[in-house]
Amino acid sequence: MLPYQTLEEAVLGLGRNLTSAEKLWLDYSARKSDFNLYSHITFFLCLVFSLAPLPYAFIELSQSEIMAKFKVQTKIKTSFSDMFKCYKHVIKTFIVVVGPLNTVSFPAFKWVGIHTSLPLPSLWEVSSQLIVYFLIEDYTNYWLHRLLHSKWGYEKIHYMHHEFSAPIGFAAPYAHWAEILILGIPTFLGPLIIPCHIVTLCLWTILRHVEAIHTHSGYEFPWSPTKLIPFYVGPEYHDYHHLVGRRSQSNFASVFTYCDHIYGTDRGYRHHKNALNKVISYDHFWHLQLKDI
Protein backbone atom coordinates (compact mmCIF):
# COMPACT_ATOMS: atom_id res chain seq x y z
CA MET A 1 0.00 0.00 0.00
CA LEU A 2 1.21 3.48 -0.84
CA PRO A 3 2.55 5.51 2.10
CA TYR A 4 0.51 8.45 0.81
CA GLN A 5 -3.25 8.65 1.14
CA THR A 6 -3.76 12.14 -0.26
CA LEU A 7 -2.27 14.30 -2.99
CA GLU A 8 -0.87 16.71 -0.40
CA GLU A 9 0.94 13.91 1.42
CA ALA A 10 2.42 12.65 -1.86
CA VAL A 11 3.62 16.11 -2.90
CA LEU A 12 5.19 16.63 0.52
CA GLY A 13 6.77 13.17 0.50
CA LEU A 14 8.24 13.46 -3.00
CA GLY A 15 9.18 17.12 -2.67
CA ARG A 16 7.59 17.99 -6.02
CA ASN A 17 4.29 18.07 -7.85
CA LEU A 18 2.98 14.80 -9.22
CA THR A 19 2.71 14.13 -12.93
CA SER A 20 -0.71 13.43 -14.43
CA ALA A 21 0.09 9.70 -14.54
CA GLU A 22 1.18 9.72 -10.91
CA LYS A 23 -2.04 11.47 -9.86
CA LEU A 24 -4.06 8.79 -11.62
CA TRP A 25 -2.01 6.05 -9.98
CA LEU A 26 -2.44 7.67 -6.55
CA ASP A 27 -6.23 7.87 -7.02
CA TYR A 28 -6.35 4.26 -8.14
CA SER A 29 -4.00 2.63 -5.66
CA ALA A 30 -3.87 4.75 -2.49
CA ARG A 31 -6.34 2.59 -0.56
CA LYS A 32 -5.49 -0.77 -2.12
CA SER A 33 -3.02 -3.23 -0.64
CA ASP A 34 -0.03 -4.44 -2.67
CA PHE A 35 -1.61 -7.88 -2.81
CA ASN A 36 -4.83 -6.40 -4.17
CA LEU A 37 -2.95 -4.52 -6.88
CA TYR A 38 -0.92 -7.58 -7.81
CA SER A 39 -4.07 -9.69 -8.04
CA HIS A 40 -5.40 -7.36 -10.74
CA ILE A 41 -3.01 -9.00 -13.22
CA THR A 42 -5.38 -11.96 -13.60
CA PHE A 43 -8.29 -9.58 -14.26
CA PHE A 44 -6.30 -7.70 -16.92
CA LEU A 45 -5.32 -10.99 -18.55
CA CYS A 46 -8.96 -12.07 -18.82
CA LEU A 47 -9.97 -8.64 -20.12
CA VAL A 48 -7.24 -8.49 -22.77
CA PHE A 49 -7.89 -12.09 -23.82
CA SER A 50 -11.59 -11.32 -24.21
CA LEU A 51 -11.05 -8.20 -26.34
CA ALA A 52 -7.77 -8.45 -28.30
CA PRO A 53 -8.71 -11.47 -30.47
CA LEU A 54 -12.13 -10.06 -31.41
CA PRO A 55 -11.04 -8.20 -34.59
CA TYR A 56 -9.44 -11.38 -35.94
CA ALA A 57 -12.53 -13.39 -34.96
CA PHE A 58 -14.85 -10.96 -36.76
CA ILE A 59 -12.69 -11.14 -39.88
CA GLU A 60 -12.64 -14.93 -39.77
CA LEU A 61 -16.40 -15.27 -39.25
CA SER A 62 -17.28 -12.65 -41.87
CA GLN A 63 -15.44 -14.67 -44.55
CA SER A 64 -14.65 -11.42 -46.32
CA GLU A 65 -13.03 -11.92 -49.73
CA ILE A 66 -11.04 -8.73 -49.23
CA MET A 67 -9.50 -10.01 -45.98
CA ALA A 68 -9.17 -13.62 -47.18
CA LYS A 69 -6.03 -12.78 -49.15
CA PHE A 70 -4.27 -11.95 -45.86
CA LYS A 71 -5.15 -15.27 -44.23
CA VAL A 72 -2.17 -17.60 -43.99
CA GLN A 73 -4.04 -20.91 -44.28
CA THR A 74 -6.87 -19.99 -46.60
CA LYS A 75 -8.45 -23.45 -46.82
CA ILE A 76 -9.20 -23.78 -43.11
CA LYS A 77 -12.14 -21.94 -41.55
CA THR A 78 -12.81 -21.77 -37.82
CA SER A 79 -16.44 -21.80 -36.68
CA PHE A 80 -17.95 -19.68 -33.93
CA SER A 81 -18.58 -22.78 -31.82
CA ASP A 82 -14.90 -23.76 -31.99
CA MET A 83 -13.88 -20.22 -31.04
CA PHE A 84 -16.29 -20.15 -28.10
CA LYS A 85 -15.16 -23.58 -26.91
CA CYS A 86 -11.57 -22.34 -27.02
CA TYR A 87 -12.51 -19.12 -25.18
CA LYS A 88 -14.29 -20.99 -22.37
CA HIS A 89 -11.34 -23.33 -21.87
CA VAL A 90 -8.82 -20.49 -21.62
CA ILE A 91 -10.95 -18.40 -19.22
CA LYS A 92 -11.38 -21.48 -17.03
CA THR A 93 -7.60 -22.02 -17.07
CA PHE A 94 -6.96 -18.38 -16.14
CA ILE A 95 -9.34 -18.63 -13.18
CA VAL A 96 -8.38 -22.11 -11.95
CA VAL A 97 -4.62 -22.10 -12.71
CA VAL A 98 -3.28 -18.59 -13.38
CA GLY A 99 -5.25 -16.86 -10.62
CA PRO A 100 -4.07 -19.17 -7.81
CA LEU A 101 -0.54 -19.12 -9.26
CA ASN A 102 -0.49 -15.33 -9.04
CA THR A 103 -1.72 -15.57 -5.47
CA VAL A 104 0.99 -17.95 -4.26
CA SER A 105 3.73 -16.11 -6.20
CA PHE A 106 2.98 -12.74 -4.59
CA PRO A 107 5.45 -13.18 -1.66
CA ALA A 108 8.25 -14.01 -4.11
CA PHE A 109 7.59 -10.93 -6.24
CA LYS A 110 7.35 -8.79 -3.13
CA TRP A 111 10.63 -10.23 -1.87
CA VAL A 112 12.58 -9.53 -5.07
CA GLY A 113 11.40 -5.92 -5.13
CA ILE A 114 8.27 -5.54 -7.26
CA HIS A 115 6.85 -2.30 -5.83
CA THR A 116 3.75 -0.13 -6.07
CA SER A 117 4.99 3.13 -4.58
CA LEU A 118 5.56 6.56 -6.07
CA PRO A 119 7.31 7.90 -8.06
CA LEU A 120 6.31 6.03 -11.18
CA PRO A 121 9.19 4.79 -13.37
CA SER A 122 10.32 6.96 -16.26
CA LEU A 123 9.47 6.12 -19.85
CA TRP A 124 13.11 5.17 -20.42
CA GLU A 125 13.10 2.80 -17.43
CA VAL A 126 9.86 1.14 -18.50
CA SER A 127 10.99 0.78 -22.13
CA SER A 128 14.41 -0.65 -21.27
CA GLN A 129 12.91 -3.15 -18.82
CA LEU A 130 10.30 -4.29 -21.35
CA ILE A 131 12.98 -4.88 -23.99
CA VAL A 132 15.02 -6.98 -21.54
CA TYR A 133 11.91 -8.94 -20.50
CA PHE A 134 11.09 -9.72 -24.13
CA LEU A 135 14.63 -10.96 -24.75
CA ILE A 136 14.69 -13.12 -21.62
CA GLU A 137 11.22 -14.53 -22.34
CA ASP A 138 12.04 -15.25 -25.96
CA TYR A 139 15.26 -17.15 -25.25
CA THR A 140 13.87 -19.16 -22.33
CA ASN A 141 10.60 -19.89 -24.09
CA TYR A 142 12.50 -21.18 -27.13
CA TRP A 143 14.19 -23.97 -25.16
CA LEU A 144 11.12 -24.90 -23.11
CA HIS A 145 9.07 -24.99 -26.31
CA ARG A 146 11.60 -27.35 -27.87
CA LEU A 147 11.37 -29.52 -24.76
CA LEU A 148 7.59 -29.68 -25.17
CA HIS A 149 8.15 -31.06 -28.68
CA SER A 150 9.96 -34.08 -27.33
CA LYS A 151 7.94 -37.30 -27.66
CA TRP A 152 6.84 -37.30 -24.02
CA GLY A 153 6.29 -33.53 -23.82
CA TYR A 154 4.13 -33.45 -26.92
CA GLU A 155 2.04 -36.55 -26.19
CA LYS A 156 1.38 -35.65 -22.54
CA ILE A 157 1.18 -31.83 -22.61
CA HIS A 158 1.77 -29.87 -25.82
CA TYR A 159 -0.65 -31.83 -28.03
CA MET A 160 -3.55 -29.69 -26.81
CA HIS A 161 -2.10 -26.42 -28.10
CA HIS A 162 -1.65 -28.02 -31.53
CA GLU A 163 -5.31 -28.99 -31.80
CA PHE A 164 -5.53 -25.80 -33.86
CA SER A 165 -3.45 -26.61 -36.94
CA ALA A 166 -4.49 -23.20 -38.26
CA PRO A 167 -4.17 -21.00 -35.16
CA ILE A 168 -6.59 -18.25 -34.16
CA GLY A 169 -6.15 -15.38 -31.71
CA PHE A 170 -8.23 -17.07 -29.02
CA ALA A 171 -5.97 -20.15 -29.24
CA ALA A 172 -2.81 -18.29 -28.17
CA PRO A 173 -3.11 -19.44 -24.52
CA TYR A 174 -5.18 -22.53 -25.34
CA ALA A 175 -3.07 -25.26 -23.75
CA HIS A 176 -2.79 -27.96 -21.11
CA TRP A 177 -2.66 -26.53 -17.59
CA ALA A 178 0.87 -27.90 -17.19
CA GLU A 179 2.00 -26.00 -20.29
CA ILE A 180 0.56 -22.79 -18.84
CA LEU A 181 2.74 -23.32 -15.78
CA ILE A 182 5.85 -24.28 -17.77
CA LEU A 183 5.68 -21.42 -20.28
CA GLY A 184 4.71 -19.02 -17.50
CA ILE A 185 8.30 -19.32 -16.24
CA PRO A 186 9.82 -17.33 -19.15
CA THR A 187 7.15 -14.65 -18.78
CA PHE A 188 7.90 -13.94 -15.13
CA LEU A 189 11.62 -14.70 -15.16
CA GLY A 190 12.54 -11.22 -16.40
CA PRO A 191 10.71 -9.33 -13.63
CA LEU A 192 12.16 -11.72 -11.06
CA ILE A 193 15.71 -11.01 -12.28
CA ILE A 194 15.16 -7.29 -12.85
CA PRO A 195 12.40 -6.11 -10.49
CA CYS A 196 10.12 -3.34 -11.66
CA HIS A 197 7.10 -1.26 -10.68
CA ILE A 198 3.76 -3.08 -10.63
CA VAL A 199 2.61 -0.84 -13.50
CA THR A 200 5.51 -2.10 -15.63
CA LEU A 201 4.70 -5.69 -14.64
CA CYS A 202 1.06 -5.27 -15.72
CA LEU A 203 2.13 -3.59 -18.95
CA TRP A 204 4.63 -6.37 -19.68
CA THR A 205 2.04 -9.09 -19.04
CA ILE A 206 -0.49 -7.37 -21.30
CA LEU A 207 2.01 -6.74 -24.13
CA ARG A 208 3.27 -10.31 -24.07
CA HIS A 209 -0.29 -11.56 -24.20
CA VAL A 210 -1.25 -9.26 -27.08
CA GLU A 211 1.89 -10.32 -28.96
CA ALA A 212 0.97 -14.00 -28.57
CA ILE A 213 -2.57 -13.30 -29.79
CA HIS A 214 -1.20 -11.47 -32.83
CA THR A 215 1.25 -14.28 -33.61
CA HIS A 216 -1.60 -16.83 -33.45
CA SER A 217 -4.08 -14.67 -35.36
CA GLY A 218 -3.68 -16.52 -38.65
CA TYR A 219 -3.62 -13.25 -40.61
CA GLU A 220 -0.50 -11.57 -42.02
CA PHE A 221 -1.27 -7.91 -42.71
CA PRO A 222 1.40 -6.01 -44.69
CA TRP A 223 0.58 -2.76 -42.87
CA SER A 224 1.15 -4.19 -39.39
CA PRO A 225 3.58 -2.02 -37.35
CA THR A 226 5.26 -5.24 -36.17
CA LYS A 227 6.86 -5.37 -39.63
CA LEU A 228 9.20 -2.66 -38.34
CA ILE A 229 10.51 -4.86 -35.49
CA PRO A 230 13.76 -6.64 -36.44
CA PHE A 231 13.58 -10.46 -36.37
CA TYR A 232 9.93 -10.41 -35.28
CA VAL A 233 8.16 -13.78 -35.55
CA GLY A 234 4.77 -12.72 -36.88
CA PRO A 235 1.69 -14.80 -37.77
CA GLU A 236 3.01 -16.42 -40.97
CA TYR A 237 6.19 -17.62 -39.29
CA HIS A 238 4.41 -19.19 -36.32
CA ASP A 239 1.58 -20.49 -38.49
CA TYR A 240 4.05 -22.86 -40.16
CA HIS A 241 4.83 -24.35 -36.76
CA HIS A 242 1.15 -25.21 -36.29
CA LEU A 243 0.75 -26.36 -39.89
CA VAL A 244 3.44 -29.02 -39.49
CA GLY A 245 2.07 -29.94 -36.06
CA ARG A 246 3.49 -32.89 -34.18
CA ARG A 247 6.26 -33.41 -36.72
CA SER A 248 7.37 -29.80 -36.29
CA GLN A 249 10.94 -29.30 -35.21
CA SER A 250 10.92 -25.80 -36.66
CA ASN A 251 9.94 -22.25 -35.72
CA PHE A 252 9.95 -22.57 -31.92
CA ALA A 253 10.51 -18.85 -31.34
CA SER A 254 7.85 -16.90 -29.46
CA VAL A 255 8.85 -13.30 -30.29
CA PHE A 256 12.12 -13.10 -32.28
CA THR A 257 13.45 -15.49 -34.91
CA TYR A 258 17.17 -15.32 -34.08
CA CYS A 259 17.22 -18.46 -31.89
CA ASP A 260 15.67 -20.54 -34.67
CA HIS A 261 18.27 -19.16 -37.08
CA ILE A 262 21.25 -19.66 -34.74
CA TYR A 263 20.30 -23.22 -33.76
CA GLY A 264 19.08 -24.24 -37.21
CA THR A 265 15.45 -24.87 -36.33
CA ASP A 266 14.11 -22.71 -39.15
CA ARG A 267 15.47 -24.88 -41.98
CA GLY A 268 12.14 -26.54 -42.66
CA TYR A 269 10.42 -23.18 -42.83
CA ARG A 270 13.04 -21.69 -45.13
CA HIS A 271 12.77 -24.71 -47.44
CA HIS A 272 8.97 -24.37 -47.37
CA LYS A 273 9.19 -20.65 -48.21
CA ASN A 274 11.64 -21.24 -51.07
CA ALA A 275 9.42 -23.93 -52.57
CA LEU A 276 6.36 -21.71 -52.21
CA ASN A 277 8.13 -18.75 -53.84
CA LYS A 278 9.14 -20.95 -56.79
CA VAL A 279 5.53 -22.01 -57.30
CA ILE A 280 4.36 -18.39 -57.13
CA SER A 281 7.06 -17.30 -59.59
CA TYR A 282 6.13 -20.14 -61.95
CA ASP A 283 2.44 -19.27 -61.83
CA HIS A 284 3.23 -15.59 -62.37
CA PHE A 285 5.41 -16.43 -65.38
CA TRP A 286 2.68 -18.44 -67.10
CA HIS A 287 0.11 -15.79 -66.27
CA LEU A 288 2.21 -13.22 -68.13
CA GLN A 289 2.75 -15.59 -71.04
CA LEU A 290 -0.96 -16.29 -71.44
CA LYS A 291 -1.71 -12.60 -71.11
CA ASP A 292 0.52 -11.83 -74.13
CA ILE A 293 -1.21 -14.38 -76.34
**Confidence at 277, pLDDT banded by 50, 70, 90:** low
Is 281's pLDDT higher than 70?
no
Give the pLDDT of residue 287: 41
Average pLDDT over residues 89-114: 93
Average pLDDT over residues 210-218: 97
**Taking Cα atoms as reference points, which of 71, 83, 70, 246 lies closest to residue 172?**
83
Give the pLDDT of residue 133: 98
Contact (CB, 8 A) for 94 and 49? yes
Average pLDDT over residues 241-269: 88
The structure's pTM equals 0.90
**Confidence at 282, pLDDT banded by 50, 70, 90:** very low
221: number of CA atoms within 13 Å, CB side? 13
Secondary structure of residue 229 in the 3-state scheme: coil
Is 278's pLDDT higher than 70?
no
CA distance 88 to 99: 15
Give the pLDDT of residue 286: 38
CA distance 255 to 276: 24
Is 46's pLDDT higher than 70?
yes
Where would I find the beta strands (DSSP E) of the chain? none
Average pLDDT over residues 210-217: 97
Give the pLDDT of residue 248: 64
**Confidence at 288, pLDDT banded by 50, 70, 90:** very low
Contact (CB, 8 A) for 220 and 70? yes
Average pLDDT over residues 50-62: 96
**Confidence at 270, pLDDT banded by 50, 70, 90:** confident
pLDDT digits (tens, 9 = 90+) for 232-254: 999 999 999 998 877 668 899 99
Average pLDDT over residues 92-113: 92
Contact (CB, 8 A) for 174 and 216? no
246: number of CA atoms within 13 Å, CB side? 10
According to the per-residue pLDDT averaged within each range, which of 14-18, 215-219, 272-276 is highest? 215-219
CB neighbours of 66 closer than 8 A, spacing ≥ 6? none
Is 110's pLDDT higher than 50?
yes
**Confidence at 86, pLDDT banded by 50, 70, 90:** very high
Average pLDDT over residues 51-58: 96
Q: What is the mean pLDDT of the chain?
A: 90
**Taking Cα atoms as reference points, which of 54, 8, 265 lies closest to residue 145?**
265
Average pLDDT over residues 75-104: 94
